[in-house]
Every structure is written in structure tokens, then in C-alpha cells.
């Protein structure tokens, strides 16, 4: 005799209920990093729009920053950890390949035994997390999902590498995605382009010191930390101009697809919150999308630097802090980065 399996009761829709953030207090101005890369404050400002980058201090770890951002998001949503049906942490800088950062964060927030896992999608990690949270909530698998983007990129910087070191910052941003009656998150436009797999990369293991090790422009000798002789600490590296071209040409198209998938136009937006990669990329997006002046464009990068998975929720948090009237309006968010991978949605701001 055949039996019908029970299913979760689906929810009509999902929305972002609240956003939280943790910003390290420390700021590193351009002047403090230009020496080892033979650069200048003027060059960095002109080419990237970055004036300072936020950098974690002692004790400000991936876990502590994630917990702080998650806690604020929960408090603002009027929830506790016990209400969560899942915890998703997007990061590429948690030093452990396993166990996940998410399991420790869930425990710290009192969310145990909620399922908890990390997402490795670099600067698209937060948008990937929102895509999953939206699907989990609508399918009825969870009622509330915490999505955190967190990075401590400063642990993986070679200060003599002029391709990326000057871009990066640290921090954490979080949103609670909750069941709703009306859609507050549009269909996600997300994808990957593994043909460009090597454009931005970082191994998570120590590298053996060999002359031919590509990217062995390492600031610190890992043997000092690990006691293992002849090992190099891994650092992030990229082919900046390739990423720049890909971002400007391909990601503007993805942003337009996200607007179409949501059934809205640029004029319907209150805010545009792209991944904070480079001010010139942000300006190009705004131009190509023909965003009217009424749309507030997030430009958190000037102060924060590129914080990878944390950049969009951090920028959203700042926009809402600086202009609370944006609350309830629509925002287009788009993340893109190593993989190469990308993700975009239109969301109603909490
Ligand atoms: C990294 C990035 C800022 C470099 O800017 P760019 O305009 O592409 O610079 P280029 O590498 O083409 O170099 C242009 C010139 O500046 C010089 N230059 C490169 N890096 C420099 C630095 N850090 N400081 C000073 N000069 C630098 C180059 O030598 C070159 O000089 P030349 O014209 O005399 O040959 C830019 O490519 C970028 O932001 N890319 C996207 C990065 C990104 O978003 N990464 C994360 C993905 S999420």
C-alpha cells in the first residue's frame, strides 16, 4: 500500500525582517599601507574610492564579529536564537575548513539545535545565503533564518601585494529572513562562471615554500605561527583588471535580470546596494542601470574597504542608519566575486 509523505506547510513569502552589523572601530588610512606596495593615497582614492578600510583588532574574530552582527539582527527582529530554523554564515576567512563557523555562532546565539552551515561564495556569499534563506522559508523548512556575512580578510593579506591588499577590510553584517504574507525578496538571479576559477583565489592550507609557488608573496612566515618549518601563510590574490572588466560588463546585466525577475524598474528602487568592490565599479553600475537620482546608492567602500561577504549587509545597515526613511522601500542588492560567482535580488528594506 502506498503512503503519501507529509510535507512542510509552505509559507506564502519571505522578507528581510531586520539587519544587524559589527564594524571594527579601527580604521587604516591609505597612508598607512602605501609604503610596501609603492602606491599613494591619491592613486588608491582615484582607482578605488577607498579612503580608509576597517580592520579588526585583537579579539575581533570571525566568530565574535558574526555573533555581534547576528545578535543585533535578532534583537531588531524581536526574536531570540531559539526562534531560528537555520543559521547560514557566508565567509571565506574562517580559518577552519571544518567545523563550520555557523555551528559555533548558532550555539553562541542560543539557536542550537538549528541547522547551521557555512557558504563559500566569497563576495556573493551573502546573496547566496539570502537566496537559500528565502527558499527555506517559502518551502516551510524554517520560519526564521539568520544569514550572516563575515570576513576577517586582514588575516589573509600580503602587505606587499599591490593587486588586492589595499582593497580589503573586516567586519560582519547579518539579516533575519522571516516568513511573510507579501513577497519581500524577489526571485534570486544567481550563478557561477568556473571558467574564471583562478581570477581570485586563496588556498586555505599552508603552502610549502618553493620558489615556484605562485602567489608566494607572503607577508608572514607561517612557521612562526605553526612551528612547521618551510611553510607559507596563504593570502588572497587576484587578477584585478580581469575582475574589473567582468564586474562592469557581466554584472550590470545580472543586475538588470534581477530587476526583470522582480518585475520592477530602476525608478521603483529606493536604494541600490552593490557589493562594495570598487567605487568605479559602483559608478559604472549606476550609469548602466540608468538609476534615477532618487535612488540612494550605497558607497560604504570609502570608509570600510571591500569586506567581501559582509559588504552588502554592512552597507544596508549604514544606509538605514543614515536615512531611516528608506525603510520599507525596495533595494537591489548584488554580490559577485571569487568563483567567479554572483547573486542578486530585489528586497524590501526592513
Ligand atoms: C585592483 C584595481 C583597483 C587595479 O586598478 P586598475 O585601474 O585595474 O589598475 P591596473 O592594474 O590596470 O594598473 C594601472 C596602473 O597602475 C599601476 N598600479 C597597479 N596597482 C597599483 C597600486 N596598488 N598602486 C599604485 N599603482 C598601481 C600599474 O602598474 C599600472 O601602471 P602603468 O599604467 O604605468 O602600467 C582594479 O582592477 C579593481 O578594483 N579590480 C576589481 C577588483 C575587485 O573587485 N576584486 C574583488 C572582487 S569582489
Q: Select 13-180's CATH number: 3.40.47.10, 1.10.357.10, 2.30.38.10, 3.30.457.10.
A: 3.40.47.10
Annotated active-site residue in 11, 144, 275, 317: 275
| 123 catalytic per annotation | yes
What's the 286 CA to ligand 1 centre distance in angstroms? 21
Per-residue pLDDT at 233 = 78
- C-alpha 241 – ligand 1 centre gap (Å): 6
pLDDT at residue 140, as a whole number: 98
Among 278, 283, 312, 342, which residue has the most ligand 1 atoms within 8 Å of its CB, making it the best to mutate?
A: 278
Angle at CA of residue 278, ends 205 and 253, nearest 5°: 100
**Per-residue pLDDT, 222:** 62
pTM, rounded to two decimals: 0.94
Q: 203-207, 222-226, 320-324: which has the minimum mean pLDDT?
A: 222-226
Average confidence (pLDDT) over 16-45: 96
Query: Cell for 38?
Result: 609603492
Mean pLDDT of the chain: 93
What's the average model confidence in pLDDT over 225-247? Answer: 83
Residue 247 alpha carbon to ligand 1 centre in Å: 14
Mutate to test the pocket of ligand 1, among 241, 302, 312 (most ligand atoms within 8 A of CB): 241
Q: Domain ranges for the chain, please list them.
A: 13-180, 189-198+236-348, 200-230
Q: What is the pLDDT of residues 108-146, one digit of tens each?
A: 999 999 999 999 999 999 999 999 999 999 999 999 999
Residue 257: pLDDT above 70? Answer: yes
How high is the pLDDT of residue 212? Answer: 46
Query: What's domain 189-198+236-348's architecture?
Result: 3-Layer(aba) Sandwich (3.40)
Query: Is there a shared CATH topology between the 13-180 domain and the 189-198+236-348 domain?
Result: yes
Judge whether 278 counts as a catalytic residue: no
Give the mean model confidence (pLDDT) for residues 89-104: 95
Q: Which residues line ligand 1 (CB under 6 A)?
A: 37, 39, 43, 47-48, 123, 162, 166, 200, 238, 240-241, 243-244, 247, 277-278, 306, 337
| Residue of 144, 278, 306, 317 marked active site | 306
Residues in the chain: 350
Amino acid at each position: 500500500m502506498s503512503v503519501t509523505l507529509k510535507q512542510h506547510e509552505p509559507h506564502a513569502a519571505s522578507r528581510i525582517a531586520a539587519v544587524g552589523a559589527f564594524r571594527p572601530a579601527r580604521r587604516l588610512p591609505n597612508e598607512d599601507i602605501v609604503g610596501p606596495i609603492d602606491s599613494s593615497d591619491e592613486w588608491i582614492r582615484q582607482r578605488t574610492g577607498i579612503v580608509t578600510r576597517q580592520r579588526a583588532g585583537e579579539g575581533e574574530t570571525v566568530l565574535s564579529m558574526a555573533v555581534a552582527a547576528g545578535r543585533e539582527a535578532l534583537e531588531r527582529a524581536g526574536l531570540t536564537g531559539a526562534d531560528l530554523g537555520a543559521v547560514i554564515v557566508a565567509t571565506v576567512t574562517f580559518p577552519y575548513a571544518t567545523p563550520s563557523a555557523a555551528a559555533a555562532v548558532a550555539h553562541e546565539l542560543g539557536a542550537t539545535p538549528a541547522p547551521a552551515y557555512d557558504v563559500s561564495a566569497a563576495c556573493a556569499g551573502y546573496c547566496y545565503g539570502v537566496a537559500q534563506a528565502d527558499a527555506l522559508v517559502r518551502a516551510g523548512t524554517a520560519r526564521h533564518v539568520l544569514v550572516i556575512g563575515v570576513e576577517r580578510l586582514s588575516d589573509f593579506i600580503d602587505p606587499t601585494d599591490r593587486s588586492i591588499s589595499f582593497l580589503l577590510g573586516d567586519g560582519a553584517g547579518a539579516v533575519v529572513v522571516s516568513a511573510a504574507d507579501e513577497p519581500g525578496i524577489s526571485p534570486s538571479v544567481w550563478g557561477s562562471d568556473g571558467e574564471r576559477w583562478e581570477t581570485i583565489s586563496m588556498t586555505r592550507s599552508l603552502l610549502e615554500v618553493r620558489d615556484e609557488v605562485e602567489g608566494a608573496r607572503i607577508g608572514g612566515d607561517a612557521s612562526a605561527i605553526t612551528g612547521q618549518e618551510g611553510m607559507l601563510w596563504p593570502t588572497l590574490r587576484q587578477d584585478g583588471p580581469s575582475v574589473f572588466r567582468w564586474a562592469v560588463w557581466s554584472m550590470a546585466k545580472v543586475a538588470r535580470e534581477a530587476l526583470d525577475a522582480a518585475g520592477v524598474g530602476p525608478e521603483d528602487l529606493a536604494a541600490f546596494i552593490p557589493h562594495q568592490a570598487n567605487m568605479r565599479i559602483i559608478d559604472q553600475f549606476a550609469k548602466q542601470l540608468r538609476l534615477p537620482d532618487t535612488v540612494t546608492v550605497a558607497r560604504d567602500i570609502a570608509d570600510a574597504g571591500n569586506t567581501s561577504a559582509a559588504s552588502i549587509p554592512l552597507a544596508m545597515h549604514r544606509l538605514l542608519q543614515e536615512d531611516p526613511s528608506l525603510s520599507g522601500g525596495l533595494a537591489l542588492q548584488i554580490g559577485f566575486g571569487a568563483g567567479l560567482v554572483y547573486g542578486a535580488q530585489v528586497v524590501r528594506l526592513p
